[in-house]
Amino acid sequence: MSATTEAPQTNAASAQPEAMTWDSKSRRMVTIYVPLACFLIILLFPFYWMTITAFKPNAELYDYNTHNPFWITSPTLDHIRLLLFGTAYPRWLMTTMIVAVCATFLSLLASTLAAYAIQRLRYKGSQYVGLGIYLAYLVPPSILFIPLATMVFQLGLFDSPLALILVYPTFLIPFCTWLLIGYFKSIPFELEECALIDGATRLQILWQITLPLAVPGLISAGIFSFTLSWNEFIYALAFIQSSENKTVPVAILTELVTGDVYQWGALMAGSLLGSLPVAIFYSFFVDYYVSSLTGAVKE
Partner 1 sequence: MSVTAEEAWVRQAKAQSALSKLFDWKPFLVFVCMLPAAGLLLVFLTYPLGLGIWLAFTDTTIGRSGRWVGLENFEFMLEDPIWWNAVFYSVFYTGVATVLKFGLGLWLALLLNNHLPFKSMLRAIILLPWIVPTVLTAVAFWWIYNPQFSIISWVFIELGLRETNIDFINTAWPARWSLIAANVWRGIPFVAISLLAGLQTISPSLYEAALLDGSTGWQRFRYITFPMLLPILAIVMTFSIIFTFTDFQLVYAITRGGPVNSTHLLATLAFQRGIPGGQLGEGAAIAVSMIPFLVFATLFSYFALARRKWQQGESND
SS3 content of the chain, % helix, strand, coil (to 5): 80, 0, 20
Counts of helices then strands in the chain (DSSP H, E): 18, 0
**Gyration radius from the chain CA atoms:** 26
Query: Does the footprint of partner 1 cover residue 113 (CB under 8 A)?
Result: yes
Cα separation of the two ends of the chain: 39
CB 25 to partner 1: min, Å:
13
Binders of partner 1 in range 200-229 (CB under 8 A):
201-203, 227
Helix (H, G, I), strand (E, B) or coil at 293: helix
Query: Does the footprint of partner 1 cover residue 149 (CB under 8 A)?
Result: yes
Mask: binding to partner 1, 79-98, rule CB under 8 A, as x and -? --------------------
CB 45 to partner 1: min, Å:
8
Binders of partner 1 in range 15-74 (CB under 8 A):
32, 35-36, 39-40, 42-44, 46-47, 49-50, 53, 61-62, 64, 69
Note whether 293 and 224 are within 8 A (CB): yes
Size of the site for partner 1 (CB under 8 A): 93
Q: How far apart are CA 184 and CA 204, in angstroms?
A: 16
Interacting residue with partner 1 among 102, 166, 179, 195 (CB under 8 A): 166
Q: How far apart are CA 276 and CA 64, in angstroms?
A: 28
Interacting residue with partner 1 among 41, 135, 191, 215 (CB under 8 A): 135
Binders of partner 1 in range 252-281 (CB under 8 A):
252-253, 264, 267-268, 270-271, 274-275, 278-279
Query: Does the footprint of partner 1 cover residue 140 (CB under 8 A)?
Result: yes
Query: Does the footprint of partner 1 cover residue 8 (CB under 8 A)?
Result: no
CB 157 to partner 1: min, Å:
11
Q: How far apart are CA 251 and CA 245, in angstroms?
A: 9
Q: How far apart are CA 185 and CA 207, in angstroms?
A: 16
Binders of partner 1 in range 224-243 (CB under 8 A):
227, 230-231, 233-234, 237-238
Query: Does the footprint of partner 1 cover residue 12 (CB under 8 A)?
Result: no
CB 124 to partner 1: min, Å:
9
- When the beta carbons of 90 and 140 are compared against partner 1, the nearer one is 140
DSSP letter string over 192-231? HHHHHHTT--HHHHIIIIIHHHTHHHHHHHHHHHHHHHHH
The total number of residues shown for the chain amounts to 299
Binders of partner 1 in range 167-196 (CB under 8 A):
167, 169-170, 173-174, 177
